[in-house]
Structure 1
Amino acid sequence: MRALLPDLTPWRSSADFRRMWLAGLVTVFGSFLTLVALPVQLKELTGSALAVGAIGAVELVPLIVFGLYGGALADALDRRKLILWTEAGLGVLSCLLLLNTVLPHPMVWPLYVVAALVSALTGLQRPALQAILPRVVAHDQLPAATALNSMRWQVGAIAGPSVAGMVIAFGGLTWAYALDVGSYAISVLLTLGLAASPPSHDAEKPSLRGILEGARYAWGRKELLGTYAVDLAAMFFAFPNAIFPFLADDLGAPWALGLMYSAAAVGSLLVSLTSGWVSRVHRHGRMVVGAALGWGAAMALAGWMGNVWLVLLMLAVAGACDTVSGLFRSAMWDQTIPDGLRGRLAGIEVLSYSVGPQLGQVRSGGMASLTGARASVWAGGLACVASVGLLALALPRLLSYDQRTDEHAVRMRRQRTGVAEAA
């Protein structure tokens, strides 16, 4: 049992990691309140599955543009300051959602505008969050730190939607947005305590040339390219969260809406609570592919089943598979990408991690408007399995990756060891 429990070494050894972990926990909790409240509010105002799915469309372009630019900024600016200012901006946007909701007649268009702006700030912030991690924990602790960060997200993902369902049902949308505003205030205070994280002495100013340099590096690393492509395909075809309000209605269980949003996080949390085995796995690419196949299969079963409890079980299985995939994708990135390129590569990672779900919302919402919510879910799951299988065949270096012998992982391990010895 001790070998299965999470490795807490990063938490014990790094004060900055503890601050980042706590700030992230509070932010994730609040963000999931809004994640549930926004589609529910759109459903109430429009009654259209297509209108709910369109949230993904308005978030897409800002996420692409600012995600790539945010990666360049993370390599050129102080990463702590970038995280701090974007976190404050996200809090202001939550205030706007709250103000719109308390109007006598809430408007629809501000919901789309704020969603687009949140997407832009998230794109600016996420590469810095990804790139700063190897600076606050030791090289050999990165898989454990990733697992702890995953656990943080899952705790918020379980508590946030569950609380959101009750808050919206008994207190209304206003309280959900108000709690999100409060979470950002706490997170900003915690982020103020982080140590400065200045750019490398030879860092270039953000530019299109710098972004292209990162893209060329990723293209030359087919195993990295495979992690991006697999995650993008899995999320595009099998991310039906936007239509959960309609799926709950189809199953005759509107009371289960909050449980649907949190079910995947329950499965994810079970993986993280038993993540002691992660550091002992070396063939990361195979784990990424296998977990993505499991995600698609579980989603297909969730759409096919008519019993709400079995649907919730399959969503939990899907969440467990997604966490396994995420842990080993992050381990590959953190242990092999040079520090000077880490922000730009994290910007590319934003595209696979975030653009996929946004496109998935559009796909699921559009298909649900034509075929119904359940058909949209199971068809997307089957398409996910097929696409991931084809990508695995097309990118054999992903399946052959071994962190013990990969030249990039070996080089980064030697560099971090040399720095530690010099210090």
Structure 2
Amino acid sequence: MSALLLDTAPLRSSPEYRRLWIGLTLAGVGSQLGVTAVALQVYELTRSSFAVGLVGLVSFVPLVVLGLYGGALVDAHDRRRVIVLSSAALLVASVLIAGQAWLDVGSVVLLLGLVALQSAAFAVNSPARTAIIPMLVPVEQLPAANALGTLSMNLGVTVGPLVGGLLVGTVGFGPAYTIDVVTLLVALVTVLSLPPLPPLGGARKAGLASVLEGLRLLRGWRNVRMTFLLDICAMVLSQPRALFPAVGAVLIGGGATTAGVLASSVAVGSVLASLVSGPLGRVHRHGVAIAVSVAAWGAAIVAFGLVLLLASPSAAHTGSVTSTAVPWASWHLWAACTALAAAGAADAVSSVFRQTVLQSAAPDWARGRLQGVFIVVVAGGPRLGDLVAGADADALGEALAAVVGGVACVLAVVVLMAWQRGFLRYDARDPVP
């Protein structure tokens, strides 16, 4: 039985990794709380799923630009220093977002601008945090460390949206954003205790040439490139997050609390998958595992959309995210949560193996830049997916938007595997980028 459970060896063997993990978990809770509150505030101000999707667009642009350049910075400078400075910038952006809520400014344009600033800081911070993991744990513990990282991320995505939805529905946006500020402050303190972490093999100059070199590597490193393309299938084509405010306000009812429950359901599935991730360390065919799990994500999103098709708008639903009358007895709510939990479990498996392929197949001298690309895809993909889902929802309705997106994801996986069959033969015992 113990072989099925999460392997916590990296937490026991590396105090530095343990501190990083604690800080990352706290920051994840706060940031996901903030993401939920921003989506709800935008919907409350506009009553438009497309406007919620625009949050993804304004996050995506700085994430692409600074995600790629941030990876080059990580390869060129002490990674601890990069983490500390970018964490401080994240904290400042979150303070400003909380301020606009407490002052009741009510400006969507201002809120979107502050979200863009926050995204820029995240674009540098995240690849730095991820690139140092192979410097803190031995290579044989990388799958376990990545499973722990997935657990950390999904604890944030579980607790953050749920608490954010409850706070917005009961005491308002200001207190919700303030919790985000507090968690980021504590996370900053934890990373200050890390030792200096200069790049192995010496620093490299950060600049456009360095960024372009990292992108050129992907042309030849087909297996690493395919991990990115498969994640794009899931996160851009079938990301349901922008649909949640409207689902809570109009389709199922319950407003912000329902939106938070739906967002948390994805993470609950991921957490449960992470807790029984012990056998993943014994899986060697990582390419097959990634392809199957991404297709499973798409199928689960189709199921979510089918549930929404059976839920019709009711006059009892207020249309406001501040409604707190959650329909706990509704089978639509529980069926939607189950489908989203299945999607989250599939995403957790995909995440573990995609990270492991990148960290084991790519050399240290390129790891920061490739982690920058990874962050653009992993964090930027869902933001672009928010825009796609929001636009589809305005044109087709939230239910059909989910169904169409899930089907598109599954079909895209089939096409990619037919195009590059060699990825299905990728073996962790002989990692080839």
Q: Alpha-carbon deviation of 1:275?
A: 0.8
Cross-structure match for 1:54: 54
> Whole-Å Cα distance in 2 between the matches of residues 226 and 367 of structure 1?
26
Unaligned runs of 5+ in 1: 409-423
Q: Alpha-carbon deviation of 1:407?
A: 4.9
Whether 1:252 aligns to 2:253 is: yes
Q: Alpha-carbon deviation of 1:74?
A: 0.5
Q: Alpha-carbon deviation of 1:202?
A: 3.7
8 Å CA contact 1:253, 1:308 repeated in 2? no
Kindly report which structure 2 residues correspond to 1:410-421, keeping only aligned pairs within 5 A, or say none.
Answer: none
| 3-state DSSP of counterpart to 1:3 | helix
Deviates more, 1:229-238 or 1:149-158: 149-158
> Whole-Å Cα distance in 1 between the matches of residues 134 and 105 of structure 2?
47
> Whole-Å Cα distance in 2 between the matches of residues 370 and 178 of structure 1?
35
TM-score by length of 1: 0.94
Kindly report which structure 2 residues correspond to 1:18-417, keeping only aligned pairs within 5 A, or say none.
Answer: 18-248=18-248, 249-254=250-255, 255-305=257-307, 306=310, 307-407=332-432
> Whole-Å Cα distance in 2 between the matches of residues 103 and 406 of structure 1?
53
Cross-structure match for 1:416: none
Cross-structure match for 1:415: none
Query: Identity of counterpart residues, as a percentage?
Result: 38
> Whole-Å Cα distance in 1 between the matches of residues 104 and 56 of structure 2?
27
Q: For residues 252-287 of structure 1, what are the alpha-carbon distances to aligned partners after superposition, in whole Å with 9 as ceiling and x for unaligned? A: 343422110100111001111001101100000100
Unaligned runs of 5+ in 2: 311-331
Q: Alpha-carbon deviation of 1:104?
A: 4.2
Q: Alpha-carbon deviation of 1:356?
A: 1.3
Q: Alpha-carbon deviation of 1:165?
A: 1.6
> Partner letter of residue 348 of structure 1?
V
Q: Alpha-carbon deviation of 1:106?
A: 2.4
> Whole-Å Cα distance in 2 between the matches of residues 148 and 407 of structure 1?
24
Q: Alpha-carbon deviation of 1:350?
A: 1.6
Q: Over aligned residues, Cα RMSD in angstroms?
A: 1.2
Q: Alpha-carbon deviation of 1:201?
A: 4.6
Q: Alpha-carbon deviation of 1:341?
A: 0.6
8 Å CA contact 2:233, 2:412 repeated in 1? yes
| 3-state DSSP of counterpart to 2:395 | helix
Q: For residues 33-57 of structure 1, what are the alpha-carbon distances to aligned partners after superposition, in whole Å with 9 as ceiling and x for unaligned? A: 1111001111111122211111111
| 3-state DSSP of counterpart to 1:25 | helix
Q: For residues 90-118 of structure 1, what are the alpha-carbon distances to aligned partners after superposition, in whole Å with 9 as ceiling and x for unaligned? A: 11111111111122442221111011111
8 Å CA contact 1:223, 1:395 repeated in 2? no
> Whole-Å Cα distance in 2 between the matches of residues 355 and 396 of structure 1?
27
Q: For residues 207-265 of structure 1, what are the alpha-carbon distances to aligned partners after superposition, in whole Å with 9 as ceiling and x for unaligned? A: 22211222222221111111000101211111020120112221234342211010011
TM-score by length of 2: 0.92
8 Å CA contact 1:76, 1:205 repeated in 2? yes
Q: Alpha-carbon deviation of 1:162?
A: 1.4
